[in-house]
Structure 1
Amino acid sequence: MAELSLTNVVKRYGALEIIHGANLEVKAGEFVVFVGPSGCGKSTLLRMIAGLEDISGGDISIGGRTVNDVEPADRGIAMVFQSYALYPHLTVEQNLSFGLRMNGNPKADTDRRVKQAAEILQITELMQRRPKQLSGGQRQRVAIGRAIVREPRIFLFDEPLSNLDAELRVQMRVEISRLHKKLGTTMIYVTHDQTEAMTLADKIVVLRGGNIEQIGAPLDLYDDPANQFVAGFVGSPKMNFLPAEIVEKQPYGVTVALKKQPEVRLSLQIASTDAEVGQAVTLGVRPEHFLEAGRGDIDMTVDVDVAEHLGNTSYVYANIAGGEQIIIEREESRNTSNRDTLTVALSAAKTFLFDGAGKRLR
């Protein structure tokens, strides 16, 4: 395993800059996940680490060695792609050993590595099958096994589960997590699925438009987002955003009122000097942070549109005055039917405040 360092890494295609000075430190053995919407630059950043894309500026270091001009095969990395990229005419065993044999690796060592990878991934009984005889999950295991046999210092995963159905994705998430614990190797993983990021990562890197918005442990990003974009991207269902206005300013904080329901007011403790009376702001509330009526700082009534009952948890899709739709998570809402009204409570301690540019007001 090895540490990874990105220092002011830039990527340009002609005059178009798509990665804007990325800085990142990954410790040896960490599992780091890049997340963000399509086109944010996460796969490009991964390919630059792999050496499949040239960098336009900055430095990439693996294990303390700058690798800007080092060929991909000499970087000590192995990459697992979204497509399985298996040779259809070769058996599983031949797919696993192919790269090693082409590089002239000794047969005894190649056999040892292939056998070890098969045991780790529990595919020993599949060794004589060809890819067309395998399920999607089995093919992905073989693709991962082909990376394992290289015994890399860093594993790179580029949305490896996106071709699998929901049940298989859950299963493979667990298996990749087990693999990391077993091997202890540094892993960099790209996904657009924040559930994958939250469940797999030691550290999450949130990207938008070629910029790194925030880096942190999953629950740190969930509990303490740096801005409205991160707050809305991390968490499922996503955070609710309610238009509001600052109506009072005190030495210890501000009082905000919902724009469409000005009677709904909350006093928030913030130290920011950027807040001013009359300023348009956005109040962020996670679905699970709506409380039972009377148990928070202020009650508000909403019109229920749809209620989804999922066993112990239900998601209530409701409309507030003005038409904005919010999602409320409730543990007991079997009796909440369509077109009912529902009264819930807001707690200042469980809300977030953002200015017009999306900056968090703390």
Structure 2
Amino acid sequence: MAELSLTNVIKRYGALEIIHGANLEVKDGEFVVFVGPSGCGKSTLLRMIAGLEDISGGEINIGGKVVNDVEPADRGIAMVFQSYALYPHMTVAENLSFGLRMNGNPKEDTEKRVQHAAGILQINELMQRRPKQLSGGQRQRVAIGRAIVREPEVFLFDEPLSNLDAELRVQMRVEISRLHKQLGTTMIYVTHDQTEAMTLADKIVVLRAGNIEQVGAPLDLYDDPANQFVAGFVGSPKMNFIKAVVTGKDTAGLTIALAADKNVRLTLPLAASLTEGTEVTLGVRPEHFGDAGKGDADLTVSVDVAEHLGNTSYIYATFGGEQLIIERPESRATGNRDSLTVSLFAKRSFLFDSTGQRLR
């Protein structure tokens, strides 16, 4: 196991800078997830840690050793890719042992490591099969097993579940989480799926356009996002954003009126001081809407579609031309309505300025 740190890491392709001075500390045994939209640089950052991409500036440190110029095989890492990359003509056992055999590892130790990995991943009965005889989930287990047998200090996962169907993704999330608890090894995992990030991570790193926007525990990012991008990216369904304007400031906080209906006013307990008329954005998570008359302000929305999932319903609605998602418990009758009145709660709401920064 090993700690890992990035210090002002930069990646350029010619004059184009892709990663802009990334700084990150990963503790020994931590499970860290890089998450962000496509093209944000998360896989590039992972590949630089692995040594598959050269860095243009900064420093990568693994286990107390600067590895900028160290070959991938000598970094003490093992990587699991999006594609399984298994040798089709080899059995599972041969695929698992291939790397060790090529490195001249003693046969007895190789067999011991392979059996150990197979036991952890519960693939003992698959050892004599070839990849074409395996399901997608089984192939991914073998790919992970090939990393385990190397006994690395750091595991790197590059969107390993994206080729699996929904049910297998859930199953493999549990498997990977269990694997981390069992091995206690430092793991870095890349995904664009924020549900995977929330369920797997000890620490989430949110990236956008080559910048690290925020780092923290999953629920810390959910409860206390640094800006509008993080607030909208972390959480499923995502946070609702409603245009508003500042109408005043006093000892109670900052008072705003919704742009689509100036009669809907809300005073948020914030220290920020903005001039009257300043445009802001109100953020409300779907589950933070309340019953009419129960909150600090009411608003009426036009109901478009209601999705009933049993113990909860998601109401897709429109307010002032903006799309909202409202979560209601067991609200089966809502689908028959054209409109719905719900409450806003000041203490459960977020406010962002015109640049997307969180107001506090």
TM-score (norm 1): 0.99
Partner of 1:305: 304
What stretches of structure 1 move > 6 A for 4+ residues in a row?
none
Aligned to 2:29: 29
Residue 272 of structure 1 and its aligned partner are, at CA, apart by 2.1
Q: Deviations over 1:226-283 (max 9, x none)?
A: 000000000000000000000111144210000011111000111124x221100000
Give unpaired runs (5+ residues) of structure 1.
none
Corresponding residue for residue 104 of structure 2:
104
* SS of residue in 2 equivalent to 1:361: coil
CA deviations over 1:89-140 (Å, ceiling 9, x no partner): 0000000000000000000000000000000000000000000000000000
> 1:68 corresponds to which letter in structure 2?
N
1:297–1:346 Cα contact (<8 Å) kept: yes
The yes-or-no answer on 1:351 pairing with 2:330 is no
CA distance in 2, matches of 1:188, 1:338: 46
Does 2:260 match 1:235?
A: no
The separation in 2 between residues aligned to 1:154 and 1:272, in whole angstroms, is 43
What secondary structure does 2:255 align onto? strand
Q: Secondary structure at the match of 1:343?
A: strand
Partner secondary structure for residue 244 of structure 2:
strand
Are the counterparts in 2 of residues 91 and 131 from structure 1 also a CA contact under 8 Å? yes
CA RMSD of aligned residues (A): 0.7
Contact 1:305 1:339 in 2 (8 A): no
Amino acid at match of 1:71: E
Alignment deviations for residues 193-217 of structure 1 (CA, whole Å, 9 cap, x no partner): 0000000000000000000000000
Confirm or deny: 8 A CA contact 2:78 2:154 kept in the other structure: yes
Q: Distance in 2 between matches of 1:60 and 1:338?
A: 57
CA distance in structure 1 between the partners assigned to 2:283 and 2:335 by the alignment: 25
Asked if the contact 2:351–2:358 (Cα under 8 Å) also holds between the matched residues in 1, the reply is yes
For residue 333 of structure 2, give the secondary structure of its aligned residue in structure 1: coil
- 8 Å Cα contact 1:77-1:154 kept in structure 2: yes
Match of 1:226 in 2: 226
Alignment of 1:280-359 (within 5 A): 280-320=279-319, 322-359=320-357
Q: How many residues are matched?
A: 360
Q: How does 1:269-284 map to 2 (within 5 A)?
A: 269-273=269-273, 275-284=274-283
The residue aligned with 1:84 is 84
* Aligned match of 2:13: 13
Counterpart of 2:335 in 1: which secondary structure? coil
Name 1:263's counterpart in structure 2.
263
**Identity among equivalent pairs (%):** 81
1:344 partner letter:
V
Between 1:289-298 and 1:229-238, the stretch displaced more is 289-298
- Aligned residues of 1:3 and 1:62 also touching (Cα < 8 A): yes
After the TM superposition, which residues 126-141 of structure 1 pair with which residues of structure 2 at under 5 Å, given as runs? 126-141=126-141
1:95 match: secondary structure: helix
Q: Which amino acid aligns with 2:332?
A: R
Is the CA contact 1:246–1:280 (under 8 Å) kept in the aligned structure 2?
yes
Q: Which runs of 5+ in 2 are unaligned?
A: none
How far is 1:339 from its partner? 4.6
Asked whether the 8 Å contact 1:306–1:339 carries over to 2, the reply is: no
